[in-house]
Structure 1
């Protein structure tokens, strides 16, 4: 396959299925279970423990190098991780489907948390192998399209196990709804089951260091020693800071203007679809625009969308305006995320793809998480309007780092 060739439909279906599968556990934990637990009278403090279930996604950087190094000689390297890990999630969901909800949300609550932690551990580890597989499968020019599938597929999975599950539980009940979720995940496993990795993606052992003691240090020290990598990580660290500052306060701002749960749920669903559409559009445009122009153009749209939220302060009674701005902001977010992830893939070394991408992804959420945690305090001190304008200005200012990297640093770095 040439570097300019568009990946085949089988490759696109494979990646879409894997990323959609990853979104299923996240939607269940983040959106469905808090509602169901509260409906069954579970204490808010215990519901808050669900946040700890995301720890494997933050800590996976610690074991990602071993996912790159160790694999199955019979199943294929990445496939040898993905199949058993996705099978583990299916079995856990099957176990949840066999238990009565009044037990899971009552005396067996800690069993529920344990199964959910195992699901997140398996899904986070599978993500490392999936990202490594995606980097190897996608020609450089089409990594934007591949990341469209990553962003879009993940959101589809979250919608299915979030909003979709809540809609199904009413007529079908907990057990049948979770069973259907497990069956859906089983169907999403078929493309990777049929994928002939050993024939299509042979390993190059000479490029990989042995998986012995000190692998973690050797792996990341080697990545950070790449020319321009520290400068690139600074771009990764800051590119989404404006979004992290502004987006958490959009829904609280609308709540303060009288939007109820049903109206916000509908807005969330439609804007999520806009985000998926934006991700797909961004991936297609990335192939034409390239890395620098995509980051600048999509980043500028992201900044404009965040600043535009200031127009909604005091305008909550104008649903058409709310929908227009929220859909634009979500579409721009999808486009900018796809562009960033595509360049991150280009910075991965051969035979180090999964862990190299994982470190960059972890870097991306590190500072963004801290800034997001401060967004509520800043909204209270400055007001919503100033917060959104500030978020837009911050997002636009970070584009200066993008220009600095590509124009001053990139000549020492090979970015396809």
Structure 2
């Protein structure tokens, strides 16, 4: 077993990075490449917009996550028994898409395309449950920030490769070879989990899991919510990313209104994404040094300052140096704060309940943030961009006292329990 201060082995870090990168590859294909390709082939905008509904498995996975925690393969191992078949399913689908003529796929075979994409999302979202559970078990407390850096960075790299990278490759390599390369990369990302001896290193302990059968869903999540301090932690989850959720959807529309072209926005997006990846990696390293409380408070403060600073750009869109400075700072702060939040989420996961416990927390965090993000355009129209960004920063600051209160109550509960 790893000690609390032991740095994970390089093989463990490579394993987790490969799994999260593998999840980012199909996500980038669905979110960035396919909408462009569909429109180029004349698919109606309304149908392209409805593709967002194919992401429903990511929202609904909380309903079957307890079964991923409970059911284990006696031959492949617990998490590995889920990850390998699901990743092979995604590889098979991407390979199949590479063999189909795109002219037919986007026309007469469009329903087939929809069905395959839904299956990809179902497989990838279920695999994410098992991957998160595996990450919680593999990473000691101090190094969970670094582990979540790999999660954020690996996923974003995968999305960049199959999003921007795939679109660039299409012009040179064409549909068939470009998708074949995505499938080949997925095969490469499967090698570490294929070689991982989970049954020996992380044996499944069914006596610590919920009994299977009717009522598993209710028993599982009731047990999590009854943990000491969980209600305060849920308040942190609901509030910590609200400021970012409110302000970030309006950054690009604001720049469009100030005359930024698609090329200029694309360059800004690419560079800021790379800076966000670097921020996530730095955040993970700092988490190991400064601990959970100071990481959440410090990175949360940077996040609030970053989104509020966008108000300085409302009348300064022509100053590209200022835009880049503020945008890159905001993205770095977002990466750092996300890593810290995910790392503390891992602390709340119970043994043999890791996948579903992490999934529920992630779903809670996204729920209110999604609703607030959906209202950002309306609020920007009513209040103006400047008031929106300042309000988003204030909202981010208001979450920090909740973080402090949660940790103080947790420390007090630990003292009482020790006595």
**If the TM-score is normalised by the length of the shorter chain, which range does it land in?**
over 0.9
The residue number in structure 2 matching 1:79 is 80
CA distance in 2, matches of 1:205, 1:29: 36
Return closer, same or farther for 1:410/1:229 CA change in 2, 3 Å cut-off. farther
Cα contact 2:153–2:277 (8 A) shared by 1: yes
TM-superposed deviation, 1:316: 1.1
Distance apart, 1:202 and its partner CA: 1.3
Other structure's SS at 1:107 match: coil
Aligned counterparts of 1:50 and 1:155: Cα–Cα separation in 2: 20
Runs of 4+ in 1 over 2 A off after TM superposition: 408-414
| Offset of residue 410 of structure 1 | 4.5
- Per-residue deviation at 1:411? 2.8
Provide the rounded CA distance (Å) in 2 between the counterparts of 1:219 and 1:408: 24
* Matching residue of 1:300: 301
Q: Secondary structure at the match of 2:375?
A: helix
Q: Which residue number in structure 2 is paired with residue 163 of structure 1?
A: 164
Q: d(CA) in 2 for partners of 1:319 and 1:291?
A: 35
| Rounded Cα–Cα distance in structure 2 between residues aligned with 1:175 and 1:323 | 37
- CA distance in 2 between partners of 1:177 and 1:28 (Å): 11
The 1-side partners of 2:207 and 2:381 are apart by: 56
- Deviation of 1:409 after TM superposition, in Å, equals 4.3
Residues 324-346 of structure 1: per-residue CA shift (max 9 Å, x gap): 11111000000000000000001
What's the CA shift for 1:205? 2.1
Q: Are the counterparts in 2 of residues 299 and 399 from structure 1 also a CA contact under 8 Å?
A: yes
1:143 is displaced (CA, Å) by 0.2
Report the equivalent of 2:129: 128
What residue number does 2:350 align with?
A: 349
Checking the alignment, whether the CA contact within 8 Å between 1:231 and 1:409 is kept in structure 2 is: no
User: Residue 210 of structure 1: CA displacement?
Assistant: 1.7
> Does structure 1 retain, via aligned residues, the 8 Å contact 2:70–2:206?
no
Q: Is the 8 A contact 1:228 1:410 kept in 2?
A: no
Corresponding residue number in structure 1 for 2:386: 385
Are the equivalent residues in 1 in contact too, given 2:229–2:409 (CA < 8 A)?
no
> How far apart in 2 are the matches of 1:212 and 1:166?
46
Tell me the alpha carbon deviations over residues 183-208 of structure 1, each in whole angstroms, 9 at most, x when there is no partner: 10110000000001011111222211
For 1:78-157, what aligned pairs fall within 5 Å after superposition? 78-157=79-158
TM-score between both structures, scaled by the size of structure 2: 0.98
Partner in structure 2 of residue 37 of structure 1? 38
Report the equivalent of 2:331. Answer: 330
Report SS of the residue matched to 1:192.
helix
More divergent stretch after superposition (374-383 vs 203-212) = 203-212
Partner Cα separation in structure 2 for residue 243 and residue 261 of structure 1:
23
Q: Distance in 2 between matches of 1:125 and 1:155?
A: 19
On the 8 A contact 2:77/2:204 being kept in 1, the answer is: no
Aligned to 1:260: 261
CA RMSD of aligned residues (A): 1.0
Return the offset for 1:151.
0.5
Gaps of 5+ in 2: none
Name 1:64's counterpart in structure 2: 65
Q: TM-score, normalised by structure 1?
A: 0.98
* Structure 2: distance between partners of 1:287 and 1:400: 22
CA distance in 2, matches of 1:150, 1:286: 15
Q: SS of 1:131's equivalent?
A: helix
State the partner residue of 2:222: 221
Partner residue, 1:366: 367
